[in-house]
Every structure is written in structure tokens, then in C-alpha cells.
Structure 1
């Protein structure tokens, strides 16, 4: 069991481990500041990587998400260190929630899913993202219909 020997710092609200995630985009940037902030906050285990946020494969983030147990709290210095877009943030927050864990950002206290207010804010964000997706789909559909009305052909040309 993970919590038996050296539990590290436990979150007062959830009783789970405080796990930190740090990321920098380039080799020129340093992880030291994020590590120091996360350690000062009480994170007992840090997952850190030097990798651009646009890359889909972030092995340390994947390890962190795999490591999560119910009650744990993922802590980041800022949300942009964790996610590359609102949609990405919501997807990651959903994975964290599915594990029974929480998400906390030091720079954005409103994004603390261990509190009812933080969960509400992320729920509102999810609703806005869903609304935005439906608007995009409607615009694409309208654009395709208008293009078809003008005679634009979609798809590969017919093969004889």
C-alpha cells in the first residue's frame, strides 16, 4: 500500500496525499521555482517534466494520473502548467475526479475542486465549453450547406 510507510503530507480536507505536477515548455526554463512552491505547499510527491504543452504525450502527467487514489489532491502552481486549453483542463479534471481525487491551483484558488465553489466553477466552465462546441458544429453545418448551395463538391473526386 502506498500510504503505509511514508504517507507524506495529507490534505486536511480529503485525507489524501498532496501530489504536485510541474511543467516547463523549453530547456531554457527551470522547474526549480515550481518545485519550491509545490514543496512549500506540502506536496509529498512531485511529477515534473520539460515538455511543450502542445504535445499530447506527457509521460509524467500520465504517471501522475495513474498514481492517483481517492482523496489525493493534484496541486499545480498555475493551470497553464497542467493544461494547454480549456477543453484539455476539463478533460484532465474529469480524469482526476473519476479517480476520486481533487485538483488545486495555487495561482487560481477558484479552481479548487476539493471545495463546492471550485467544483461549481469547473462545472460552469464545462457547460460553456459544451455550448462553444455546439456553436462550432452549427457554424460548420451552415457553412457546408451554403457551400453546397453554391455548387461546391465535398470529398475526393469520383474515380472512373
Structure 2
């Protein structure tokens, strides 16, 4: 579904990010539903696909997982801080399994942004630090790894 999309900082095919997130989820014992949701976690935000398309192709459980992983905010909701607060509140209500998927996504994105990013890393790291506070019900090992990646990024970009 991501077709020829590329990662912002590396130019790599975007699908590699999705595969990395899914592999991370699988490595901590994720269920098939979690793994497929990980593969599709950005499909609503980054493609023309709708949640109805996901439901028709993959079923209700996958669609619900993808819905939890899709930003709840819309541009008309306000500035970036307001939108991120809406998204954080949405993820705070997510099931632990989807919080685990989100942690895998955070790890992948944080590594990429810290390694290849620019001044956006400063904004991103502050936002992700706040997001991690609502993901504590996710996999403990991934939570620790995400926290470590944010700390590494903070040392590079915010000190």
C-alpha cells in the first residue's frame, strides 16, 4: 500500500520501516494481529487507504488495531501541540497490544530521526518523551528500549 514512498531522512523504501516495526513486534512475541497491524500502522495516514479498506481486506481486528495506531487529530483541530495532545489521549486508551506496536514504531522513528534528522529532532524528542508516559502498558522491554533511544537522542540534540 505504501508503493514507492520513501523515508524522509534516508530515502529508503518506506515499506522497510513497516517491516522493521513488524519484526520488532514479532521479536517480543507479538500476536499475528499485532504483527499485521504493525505492517499497516501508517497506511491510513500516508496513503489513500481508508479504515474501511483495511477492514475489507484484513478484517475487524486488524482494522481496530490500525485505528488505534492512526493519529486521531486532524489539521483543523489546532496547532501541532494541540494535535499531539489529542493523539496522545487517543493512544492512552489503546489496548496494551497496540501500545506495544506503537513502542516499536517509536523505536524505529527515533533511531532514524536522531541519526539522520535535523532541527526537527528537538521537537520530536520532546513530543515522544511525553507520549512514552501513556505507553507504559506496552511491552516492558520495548518501553525500556524506546526510553533509551529517546535518552540517546536527547543527549545528542537537546544538551
Higher helix share: 2
Which TM-score applies when normalising by structure 1?
A: 0.38
Is the strand fraction higher in 1 or 2?
1
Q: TM-score, normalised by structure 2?
A: 0.38
Greater RCO, CA 8 A, separation 6+: 2
